[in-house]
């Protein structure tokens, strides 16, 4: 008897058997694992019981839970049937080498297709550029169909199956994924699964009064429940709209909208929503997407009387999606986007949930240390919170398309005698240019007058001082800004995890204030750091006098170094205490290689005194891969302003 649902067995009976006795379904009659069908069945054997368990836990109060579970297995089987041979081969390769993304060879880039190359068709011509930067991971910001005008930078998706017509077609996207894969580059896209746009087919039907689709969202006839929920909720975009609910005149109902009023939160309490979104997810996987960035993970599950952030249900939903992927698109990898308290960020990172995660705490604290020229908060936090479970990896970044929020732990700050609220006020003032002596040119984002909360927009170069230095035409300040940027990059590339370059930063792009004259962008200052690629500057990459050249080639060189230092493979980083409050240092180790990485966050020279290096053999010599110089371990180690060193410990006995 063939038990593979995709090979003809009635999925309902198959799932019944699976629910009754998961192990029993696989105890006999397994086809030889040489066929793809057999592999699919094996994967159900491995991950199906977990999926069933999660699904029935999530939907324990729903009488129709089993019906939807059967539907889910049918979706997986159908999707598997449609999966291409090439992707099935990739599935097997990733199962054999599940730690592929932890390699020191991994380097990521992220870009907006329209701002980078106008459309997908032109993007093909720039693959050589990605190769020049040695990228192995390319994240395209949301490219699906969206409402006209403001679409929150593409995060209001109207269809997960249609590319925005201005950018191209699904066929081009699939082809791009294939071509990139041939070049050793994994395509990364967002899975915007917390909400759809109010123009998505489901929302249209809900607005037209269809109760089935009204149940796809959280809708309310009056304010009673919204007001009760609201007591415990944060506001994410308070300058555009207060509260978390929007009135839809057509539907004559309130609808839950955590972000903008045109982004309707999906109702995962309804198993139909889980199944529908699983189908969309597998569609993207079959188009060749290798990594999905799970957008806004913290918000997907809501319960009255809670903050509706980071709830157990959110984790169960992601774990269930993960199990679906392991069965029907095993090479698909999840990356979590949780810009929340550092402990909560960690809670999403697990092989069965999101093996990859942005590292917002490291990002924010690098900027914190750049402002204060002191590294104690950064050190304290990484000592406590840098370690990830086995088989997982950080995605380290300095800038992305979003704002910077000061997501450090208040207790960490207090332990160091820092008042967290006052410190956040200082950082906001510093980075929005309202602090005397600040080098930064940032722009405020989403000031909340009730809480005083504020976040910051701006490009890497403008926040790190280059814009101000260029305006002042001051060679010393320019020099300092360049060195500061390079030093920060050095950490991103060496601290452990996938470094992610926000494309444009590789040549030092400055803030672009043209968004102020665009009515669809003016109320969202994040557009200041989302600017059009200035291809004409590419000529300066070969002009040694140009700043662009220094940034681009400096980065290329550092990437080249990273790729040849096995100690920079994912692994752990061990904080190294230099005794100097302006330095940030850590050890990286793999097999025979040990690296001591040191970065100077101040514009003055700093020293690691020799007694701090006494853990290394006295005869040892450090070879600095960055400066190509040797330093005896028995002497003080001196660093110039903003200098960074990647010191390989070489014992010369
Ligand atoms: C994520 C995105 C952000 C977007 C929000 C709503 O946080 O990074 O740009 O505004 O989700 O989708």
Nearest 10 degrees: Cα torsion 540, 126, 336, 521: 70
Nearest alpha-carbon partner for 466 in 491, 443, 485: 485
- Residue 182's Cβ-count burial label (10 Å; 0-12, 13-18, 19+) is exposed
Secondary structure class of 30 (helix, strand, coil)? coil
Q: Residue 524 is encoded by which pair of tokens?
A: 């969202």
Question: How high is the pLDDT of residue 22?
Answer: 59
Confidence band of 434 (pLDDT split at 50, 70, 90): very high
Label residue 30 by pLDDT band (50, 70, 90): very low
pLDDT at 6 over 70: no
For 214, 256, 303, the CA distances from 253, given in Å and listed in that order, are: 10, 10, 20
Q: Residue 386: its pLDDT value, please? A: 80
| 3-state helix vs strand vs coil in the chain, percent to 5 | 45, 15, 40
pLDDT in tens, 436-458: 999 999 999 999 888 889 999 99
- Give 490-551 as a DSSP string: HHHHHSSSEEEEETTGGGTPPP-GGGGG-TTTTT-GGGGG-----GGGGGGGG-TTSHHHHH
**Which of the two residues, 11 and 212, has the higher pLDDT score?**
212
The SS3 assignment for 41 reads: helix
Q: Can you tell me which residue has the tokens 């999403």?
A: 348
- Min mean pLDDT across 512-526, 528-542, 603-617, 637-651 is at 528-542
Q: Closest Cα partner for 230 from 131, 298, 302, 291?
A: 302
Angle between helices 65-82 and 312-328 in degrees, nearest 10: 40
Q: Does the structure show a pLDDT above 50 at 277?
A: yes
Contacts with 75 (C-beta within 8 Å, 6 or more apart), sequence order: 275, 278, 279, 282, 328
Q: Of the candidates 603, 586, 610, 616, which has an alpha carbon nearest to the alpha carbon of residue 643?
A: 603
Q: Among 152, 174, 157, 172, which Cα is nearest to 280's?
A: 157
Query: Does residue 113 have a pLDDT over 80?
Result: yes
Which of the four pLDDT bands, split at 50, 70 and 90, describes residue 2? very low
Kindly give the distance from the C-alpha atom of residue 155 to the centroid of ligand 1, in angstroms, as a whole number.
6
Q: What is the mean pLDDT of the chain?
A: 94
Assigned token pair, 283:
């569609």
Residue closest via CA to ligand 1's atom 12 equals 155
For ligand 1, atom 10: residue with the closest CA = 152
- Residues 202-256 pLDDT 10s: 999 999 999 999 999 999 999 999 999 999 999 999 888 889 999 999 999 999 9
Share of the chain above pLDDT 70, in %: 95
Pocket flag, ligand 1, residue 26 (CB < 6 Å): no
- Residue whose C-alpha is closest to residue 197's, from 255, 238, 128: 255
Burial of 457 (0-12, 13-18, 19+ CB in 10 A): buried
Counted residue by residue, the chain has a size of: 653
Q: Quick: pLDDT tens for 369-424.
A: 999 999 999 999 999 988 899 999 999 999 999 999 999 999 999 999 999 999 99
Going from the Cα of 164 to the center of ligand 1, the distance in angstroms, rounded, reads 18
Task: Please answer whether residues 234 and 442 qualify as being in contact, where contact means their C-beta atoms are separated by less than 8 angstroms.
Answer: no
C-alpha 469/C-alpha 478 separation (Å) is 5
Q: To the nearest whole percent, how much of the chain has pLDDT over 90? A: 87
Ligand 1 lined by 155 (C-beta under 6 Å)? yes
Task: Tell how far the Cα of 402 is from the centroid of ligand 1, in angstroms.
Answer: 7
pLDDT band at residue 4 using 50, 70 and 90 as cut-offs:
very low
User: pLDDT at residue 11 above 60?
Assistant: no
Mean local confidence (pLDDT), 140-151: 96
Give the C-alpha separation, 626 to 204, whole Å. Answer: 56
CA of 295 to the centre of ligand 1 (A): 7
Residue 222 burial (10 A CB sphere; 0-12, 13-18, 19+): exposed
Does residue 3 carry a pLDDT above 90?
Answer: no
Exposed/middle/buried for 523, CB within 10 Å: 0-12, 13-18, 19+? middle
Can you tell me the mean pLDDT for 599-626? 96
According to the model, what pLDDT value does residue 403 have? 97
Look at residues 359, 358, 355, 357 and name the one whose alpha carbon lies nearest to residue 391: 355
348: its two tokens: 């999403």
Distances (CA, A) of 328 to 170, 277, 397: 20, 14, 31
Model confidence at 26: pLDDT above 90: no
Which residues are known to be catalytic?
295, 337
> CA–CA separation, 404 vs 502, rounded Å?
14
Token pair listed for 500: 């992610």
Distance between CA atoms of residues 577 and 594, nearest Å:
16
For the cut 80, the answer to whether the pLDDT of residue 149 exceeds it is yes
CA-nearest residue, atom 7 of ligand 1:
296
At CA 517, angle to CA 516 and CA 522, rounded to 5? Answer: 45
Pocket residue to mutate for ligand 1, from 258, 259, 300, most atoms within 8 A of Cβ:
259
Element at 592 (helix H, strand E): none
pLDDT at residue 606, rounded to an integer: 98
H helices, E strands: number in the chain: 23, 25
Shortest-distance Cα residue to atom 9 of ligand 1: 402
- pLDDT at position 31 is 47
This prediction has a pTM of: 0.95
Helices 360-372, 376-385: crossing angle, 10 deg rounding: 160
In which band, very low, low, confident or very high, does the pLDDT at 25 lie, cut at 50, 70 and 90? low
């Amino acid at each position: 008897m063939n038990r593979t649902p995709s090979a003809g067995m009635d999925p309902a009976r198959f799932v019944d058997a699976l629910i009754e006795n998961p192990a029993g379904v696989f105890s006999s009659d397994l086809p030889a694992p040489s066929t793809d069908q057999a592999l699919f069945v094996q994967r159900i054997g491995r991950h199906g019981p977990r999926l069933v368990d999660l699904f029935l836990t999530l939907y324990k109060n729903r009488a129709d839970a089993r019906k939807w579970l059967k539907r889910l297995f049918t979706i997986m089987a159908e999707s598997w049937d449609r999966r291409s041979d090439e992707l099935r081969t990739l599935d097997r390769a990733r199962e054999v080498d599940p730690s592929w993304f932890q390699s020191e060879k991994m380097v990521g880039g992220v870009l907006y297709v329209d701002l980078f190359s106008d459309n997908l068709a032109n993007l093909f011509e720039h693959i050589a550029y990605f190769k020049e930067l040695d990228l192995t991971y390319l994240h395209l910001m949301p490219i699906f169909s969206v409402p006209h005008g403001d679409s929150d930078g593409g995060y209001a998706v109207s269809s997960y199956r249609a590319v925005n017509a201005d950018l191209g077609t699904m066929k081009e996207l699939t082809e791009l994924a294939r071509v990139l894969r041939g070049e050793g580059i994994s395509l990364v896209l967002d899975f915007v699964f917390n909400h759809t746009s109010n123009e998505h087919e489901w929302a249209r039907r809900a607005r037209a009064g269809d109760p089935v689709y009204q149940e796809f969202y959280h809708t309310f006839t009056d304010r009673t429940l919204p007001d009760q929920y609201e007591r415990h909720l944060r506001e994410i975009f308070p300058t555009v709209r207060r509260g978390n609910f929007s009135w839809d005149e057509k539907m004559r109902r309130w609808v839950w909208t955590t972000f903008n009023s045109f982004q309707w939160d999906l109702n995962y309490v309804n198993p139909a929503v889980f199944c529908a979104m699983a189908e969309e997810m597998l569609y993207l996987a079959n188009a060749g997407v290798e990594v999905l960035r799970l957008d806004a993970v913290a918000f997907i599950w809501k319960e009255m009387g809670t903050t509706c952030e980071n709830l157990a249900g959110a984790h169960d939903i992601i774990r269930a999606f993960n199990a679906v992927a392991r069965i029907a698109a095993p090479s698909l990898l999840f990356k979590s986007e949780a810009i929340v308290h550092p402990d909560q960020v960690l809670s999403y990172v697990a092989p069965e949930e999101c093996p990859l995660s942005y590292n917002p705490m490291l990002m924010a604290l690098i900027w914190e240390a750049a402002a204060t020229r002191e590294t104690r908060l950064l050190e304290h936090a990484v000592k406590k919170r840098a370690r990830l479970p086995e088989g997982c990896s950080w995605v380290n970044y300095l800038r992305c398309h979003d704002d910077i929020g000061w997501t450090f732990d208040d207790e960490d700050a207090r332990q160091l005698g820092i008042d967290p609220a006052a410190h956040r006020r200082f950082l906001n003032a510093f980075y929005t240019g309202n602090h005397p002596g600040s080098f930064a040119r940032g722009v405020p984002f989403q000031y909340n007058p009730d809480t005083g909360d504020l976040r910051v927009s701006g490009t890497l170069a403008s926040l790190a001082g280059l814009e101000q230095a260029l305006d002042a035409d001051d060679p010393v300040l320019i020099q300092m800004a360049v060195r500061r940027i390079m030093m920060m990059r050095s950490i991103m590339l060496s601290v452990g995890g996938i470094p992610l370059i926000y494309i444009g930063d590789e040549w030092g792009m400055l803030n672009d204030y043209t968004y102020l004259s665009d009515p669809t962008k003016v109320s969202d200052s994040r557009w200041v750091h989302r600017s059009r690629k200035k291809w004409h500057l590419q000529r300066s990459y070969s002009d040694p006098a140009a700043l662009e050249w220094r940034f681009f080639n400096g980065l290329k060189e550092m990437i080249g170094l990273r790729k040849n230092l096995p100690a920079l493979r994912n692994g752990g980083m061990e904080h190294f205490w230099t005794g100097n409050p302006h330095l940030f240092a850590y050890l990286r180790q793999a097999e025979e290689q040990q690296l001591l990485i040191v970065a100077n966050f101040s514009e003055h020279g700093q020293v690691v005194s020799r007694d701090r290096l006494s853990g290394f053999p006295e005869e040892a010599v450090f070879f600095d891969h960055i400066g190509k110089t040797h330093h005896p371990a028995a002497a003080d180690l001196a660093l110039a302003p903003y200098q960074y060193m990647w010191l390989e410990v070489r014992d010369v006995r």
